[in-house]
Copies of this chain bind each other. A is one copy, B any other.
Amino acid sequence: MAYTPATEELIRALQGLPGIGSRSAARMALHLLERDTESAQWLNNALAEALNKVHRCPSCRTLTEQVECDICQDSERDASSLCVVVNDADRAAIEMSKQFQGHYFVLHGVLSPIEGVGPEQLAIFDLIDKLKNNDVSEVIFVLDDQMESEATVFYITEQLKAIDVRCSRVTLMHLKNGNLDQAESRHLVSALTNRQEITLEQE
């Protein structure tokens, strides 16, 4: 073993971060323990705090530290319009664009049978219940154009045939990681304005 047991364990744990292989993890662990224990302590505190405080809003699954998220609590927002997104970063990106005044529903993933992600994991049945029991007249799906995203939109709209709700689809390539640059932001504005309606054939 090249390093101490606790260092080796830290290297393994760092590989749980997206995009971090064993070499980067070793470099990070050594940097934290050898050169910058102050940053390490800060990261440790911030991570514990976030794990303790941040949870999903029971109503829309946005990450929040309150009982219910800011958006769900805001009576000024338009509860008749619901935007369905894949993750909290996309939700944040749309919020930053200031082009949408309705509510959200965050799936936290897309359907993926191979990875064991089914409708339950994405709380799709909660979404359907929400649409049945509330006065939502319009659902806008803002997802990228990957096959699994398309399948997810298709699955949900199939469930919505029995409900009187208008569905539309916005396809965004660059809506990843939450930080929209100016070009992406313009693209988002134009996409939200020119969204395409999905026609549901009533059964």
CB within 8 Å of B: which residues of A?
A: 2-7, 9-10, 12-14, 16-19, 22-24, 26-37, 39-54, 63-65, 87-89, 92-93, 95-96, 108-109, 177-179
A6 to chain B, nearest CB (A): 4
Instruction: Establish whether residues B53 and A13, one from each chain, have CB atoms under 8 Å apart when the complex forms.
Output: no
Number of copies: 2
Q: Check if B34 sits within 8 Å of A43, measured CB to CB.
A: no
Asked if A37 meets B9 with Cβ closer than 8 Å, knowing A92-B3, A178-B30, the reply is no
Interface of A is mostly: helix
Complex contact B46–A17 (CB within 8 A): no
Additional A-B contacts beyond A2-B95, A6-B46, A16-B42 (20; CB < 8 A)? A2-B93, A2-B96, A2-B178, A3-B88, A7-B50, A13-B42, A14-B43, A16-B32, A16-B40, A17-B31, A17-B39, A18-B28, A30-B89, A33-B50, A33-B88, A35-B109, A37-B51, A40-B51, A44-B51, A47-B47
| Cβ-defined contact, B43 with A17, below 8 A | yes
A14 to B28, CA, bound (A): 11
Question: Which residues of chain B are within 8 angstroms of A45 by Cβ–Cβ distance?
Answer: 13
Q: Closest B-chain residue to A9, C-beta based?
A: B46
**Could you tell me the distance between the alpha carbons of A155 and B142 in the complex, rounded to whole angstroms?**
61
Partner among B6, B18, B49, B63 whose Cβ is within 8 Å of the Cβ of A50: B6
18 inter-chain pairs at a CB distance below 8 angstroms, sorted by A residue, are A2-B93, A6-B65, A7-B63, A9-B49, A13-B47, A17-B32, A17-B43, A18-B31, A19-B27, A23-B179, A26-B178, A34-B88, A35-B109, A37-B51, A40-B51, A41-B51, A44-B47, A44-B51
